[in-house]
Amino acid sequence: MKQVYRVALAGNPNCGKTTIFNLLTGGRQHIGNYPGVTVERKTGRCRIDELNLEIIDLPGTYSLSSSSPEEKIVFKEIMDSDIDLILNVIDASNPQRNLYLTTQLAELNIPMIMVFNMIDDAENNGLAFDFSKIEEFFGATVVTTVGTSGKGMKELRNKTAEFLKYQPTVEPCRLKYGESADAAIVGLSKKIADIKLPMANGLPARYLAIKMLENDETICSIQELEALRAEILPIQEKLSVRHGVSPETFMADRRYGFISGVCREAISISNERRRQFSDNIDKIMTNRWLGVPVFLLIMYLVFQFTFILAEPLMGIIESFFAFATEAIEGSWDRETMPLLRALLTEGIIGGVGGVLVFLPNILLLFLAISFLEGTGYMSRAAFVMDGFMRIFGLHGKSFIPMLLGFGCTVPAVMATRTIESERDRLTTIMVLPLMSCGARLPIYALIIPAFFATQYRGMIMFIIYLTGIVMAMLGALLLKSTLFKGEGEIFVMELPPYRMPTIRSTIIHMSERSVMYLKKAGTLILAASVIMFLVNTFPIKTEFSVDYDKAINKIEQSEQMNREAKDAGISELQVERKKELLQYSMAGRIGRGMNVIMAPLGFDWRVNSALVGAFAAKELFVSQLGILYAVGDADEESTPLRIHLQKNYTPLQAFSIMLFCLLSVPCMATVAVVFRETLSWTLTIGQMVGLSLLAYVVSLIVYQSGLLLDIGTKMIKIVSGG
């Protein structure tokens, strides 16, 4: 018995594979990317009886060819890894499409269980199965499940344990490709078997022979098989002449013919097949005229949901960090290691705490997006936006990376590898930073509640996100008309049926993204906050424009002032001294040096300094402001940052700041991945310069227009709730 058995989950996109994975592994999962590619890699652990299993959730794919990054990854994982069992997850409501992958998996000679998932949907649609015949055709055991409810999971676990314990001998699927093709496969198989490929990892020579005849890129690139290429060419030509099409097309046709026969023999449809619920909904959701307005309305409701529910939770977190700061200040004497005291309260709590305050917004936004993904609506959104995006020279495939860009620009840029057209891919990469990523959300979540009434907050957020989308579309149109001219591609996307996502699946997706945010706050932002605190503190000024100690002492000794007046005078002097200290620091010098350029946008030196820090990570804009205002107001260190902003800026300035943060140069991680994907410093630097100019011009126009029209130029009334 092995210490750990490796079980691979394989299936088409939208077949419920990830739901099965989550049910098997629970929280014992590890998520990353395959080396050198953008495709997500999920692994998890589970224990069935006394067996330890490693579950590998392979990317969703329609076949094992090499026409997409997902297909290459799935095949490479199978070829390179010692897989003990394959769980082939099949959407039971659409078996004919799903079984194409099954025909290829069955030829691998790896034990396989066919998991007919969403069997309830299939039965509701009038489908009836003879699973004994299906098992006979494919040489694999069938288990039926309903991933959303967990039905059938116990049987799946039992069958999995049975296969791994006893490893029953199964008759492999021997799909017939016709007399001439089968003869060519047999002859080529013998020659491949004689080579004894070290990297084939037990894969049958017959399977490798089939892939070579199909001109599979991955297999044909194996160095040991180079000698056979010359022998294969005449065989391929002979097959092409005989069948009138290329071998890969002919063999695909044979598989579809086999599947058609299986479906005819083993699957029946009742006379009263129920009209699909999804089709009725799609009359509105994907309607030519209503689709885009519906999408925009849903996004607006998502933002309203995020703000309304997040506000009380943010207040609790703010109160917690204020309490922590006051507790430290109350128990730690100012004269004892003052620099360390300030680092802890102003640098770490003020910086990291200032970012963690917005965790409720992150959680709720990701919750809403995870729910929409689970229902199947996001595929409709890509379909609906395809027509709109073609106006600007793009298509629906670009929408998927753009949608990812709302979470993080880095994986969004990498996801453009699925776009076959190099022109379209580069165009998408260049405009992706304009999609407002999750790192910018803390900036909006700080500023919007501070300056805008509750009923307008969702609208302001909607306007900000919509501005980014519009600018991205206009940028794409400009690029497709100049640098990246060319014809667009045909876009085909599968629309999965609508389903109610499970609470468990939604929470897992939400928690995955939220944990990434927390890790970022606990590592990058923590380190950057400490660095920014030091930048805000050093060099320390020793000579001031006023002898503040003498002035404070004079107020204390005054007999004409009451206690309240004395406290006010002393506080004012302390604030002035802190301002001089901060302006003398490195951050203050940088911020003041930028004033000449940035003042027309409504920015002061504090905002300028925070923008410089935001290049490391956008969340650091909030962190840096938290540190600056903690340092700046000696008697109000525990005051929420939004109150400080209300005292110093107008709603017009606040809106200008958000616009600049939305449109300006992305974080350094994005810059790095853009260079890695484009391999061009010209495009990378051009993107940075172009976005910086765009942010400056748009913010300048908006701010100066607001001043001219006297819109949002008045300080708002300060209230404790923001």
Domain of residue 231, CATH code: 1.10.287.1770
Could you tell me which residues are beta bridge partners of residue 141?
A: 113
- Give how far Cα 158 sits from Cα of 507, 553, 654, Å: 27, 81, 59
Q: Which residue has the higher pLDDT, 491 or 38?
A: 491
Residue 170: its pLDDT value, please? 61
| Mean pLDDT lowest among 358-362, 486-490, 508-512, 583-587 | 486-490
- Cα separation, 365 vs 361, whole angstroms: 6
Phi, psi of 76 (to 5 degrees): -65, -40
Helix, strand, coil shares of the chain as percentages rounded to 5?
65, 5, 25
Pair (312, 237) in one structural domain? no
Structural domain ending residue among the three candidates 531, 565, 581: 581
pLDDT band at residue 631 under the 50/70/90 scheme: very low
442 preceded by cis ω (within 30°)? no
Residue 636: its pLDDT value, please? 41
Closest by CA to 100, choosing from 71, 133, 131, 132, is: 71
Could you tell me which residues are beta bridge partners of residue 129?
A: 267
Is 172 part of any domain? Answer: no
- Cα separation, 81 vs 85, whole angstroms: 11
Contacts of 94 (CB under 8 A, 6+ apart): none
Structural domain ending residue among the three candidates 237, 253, 269: 269
Pair (564, 617) in one structural domain? no
Pair (454, 486) in one structural domain? yes
Highest mean predicted confidence (pLDDT) among 130-144, 227-241, 270-284:
130-144
Residue 35: its pLDDT value, please? 42
Phi, psi of 529 (to 5 degrees): -65, -40
Is 323 part of any domain? Answer: yes
- Cα separation, 619 vs 353, whole angstroms: 11
Closest by CA to 381, choosing from 302, 464, 480, is: 302
Largest pairwise CA distance in the chain? 112
pLDDT exceeding 90 applies to what percent of the chain?
30
* Element housing 574 (H / E): helix 563-584
Pair (304, 425) in one structural domain? yes
Pair (384, 367) in one structural domain? yes
Residue 603: its pLDDT value, please? 96
Pair (129, 241) in one structural domain? no
Structural contact between residues 392 and 476, judged by C-beta atoms closer than 8 angstroms? yes
Length of the chain: 722
| Mean pLDDT lowest among 137-146, 604-613, 699-708 | 604-613
Decide: helix, strand or coil at residue 672: helix
The pLDDT tens digits of the residues spanning 149-198 come to 899 999 999 999 999 988 776 666 668 887 888 889 999 999 988 887 76
How many CB atoms within 10 Å of residue 468? 23
Closest by CA to 443, choosing from 467, 466, 456, 461, is: 461
- Give how far Cα 600 sits from Cα of 217, 583, 691, Å: 56, 20, 18
Structural domain ending residue among the three candidates 220, 253, 269: 269
Is 284 part of any domain? Answer: no
Contacts of 685 (CB under 8 A, 6+ apart): none
Strands 85-91 vs 5-11: parallel, antiparallel or unpaired: parallel
Residue 489 has pLDDT above 50, yes or no: yes
Pair (574, 624) in one structural domain? no
Is 114 part of any domain? Answer: yes
| Mean pLDDT lowest among 78-87, 93-102, 391-400, 705-714 | 391-400
- Cα separation, 158 vs 49, whole angstroms: 9
Segments forming the whole domain that contains residue 577: 544-581
How many CB atoms within 10 Å of residue 379? 19
Structural contact between residues 113 and 141, judged by C-beta atoms closer than 8 angstroms? yes
Amino acid occupying residue 314: M
- Cα separation, 258 vs 115, whole angstroms: 19
- Cα separation, 253 vs 257, whole angstroms: 6
Amino acid occupying residue 125: N
- Cα separation, 535 vs 543, whole angstroms: 19
Mean of pLDDT values over 115-133? 90
Pair (260, 378) in one structural domain? no
| CATH at residue 99 | 3.40.50.300
Q: Provide the whole-model pTM.
A: 0.60
Structural contact between residues 235 and 212, judged by C-beta atoms closer than 8 angstroms? no
How many CB atoms within 10 Å of residue 269? 11
Is 575 part of any domain? Answer: yes
Contacts of 18 (CB under 8 A, 6+ apart): 42, 57, 505
- Cα separation, 409 vs 691, whole angstroms: 14
Structural contact between residues 684 and 665, judged by C-beta atoms closer than 8 angstroms? no
pLDDT band at residue 643 under the 50/70/90 scheme: confident
HEC sequence for 621-653: HHHHHHHHHHHHCCCCCCCCHHHHHHHHCCHHH
Phi, psi of 272 (to 5 degrees): -110, 70
- Give how far Cα 288 sits from Cα of 40, 375, 379, Å: 33, 21, 15
Is 325 part of any domain? Answer: yes
Mean pLDDT of the chain: 84
- Cα separation, 503 vs 520, whole angstroms: 26
- Cα separation, 296 vs 282, whole angstroms: 16
Residue 635 has pLDDT above 50, yes or no: no
* Element housing 116 (H / E): strand 112-117
Is 142 part of any domain? Answer: yes
pLDDT band at residue 273 under the 50/70/90 scheme: very low
Amino acid occupying residue 143: V
The pLDDT tens digits of the residues spanning 312-340 come to 998 898 889 889 988 998 899 888 998 89
Q: Which residue has the higher pLDDT, 336 or 365?
A: 336
Structural contact between residues 290 and 283, judged by C-beta atoms closer than 8 angstroms? no
- What are the structure tokens assigned to 167, written together? 């490893």
Phi, psi of 65 (to 5 degrees): -85, -170
| Mean pLDDT lowest among 96-110, 378-392, 437-451 | 378-392
Pair (186, 39) in one structural domain? no
Residue 508: its pLDDT value, please? 77
- What are the structure tokens assigned to 554, written together? 């004079």
Cα of first residue to Cα of last residue in the chain, in angstroms, is 63
Sign of CA dihedral 306, 308, 309, 314: positive
Mean of pLDDT values over 3-31? 84
Pair (496, 560) in one structural domain? no
- What are the structure tokens assigned to 190, written together? 């013998």
Pair (367, 441) in one structural domain? yes
Residue 38 has pLDDT above 50, yes or no: no
Pair (188, 112) in one structural domain? no
| Mean pLDDT lowest among 73-82, 422-431, 607-616 | 73-82
Is 721 part of any domain? Answer: no
Structural contact between residues 439 and 618, judged by C-beta atoms closer than 8 angstroms? yes
Domain count, the chain: 4
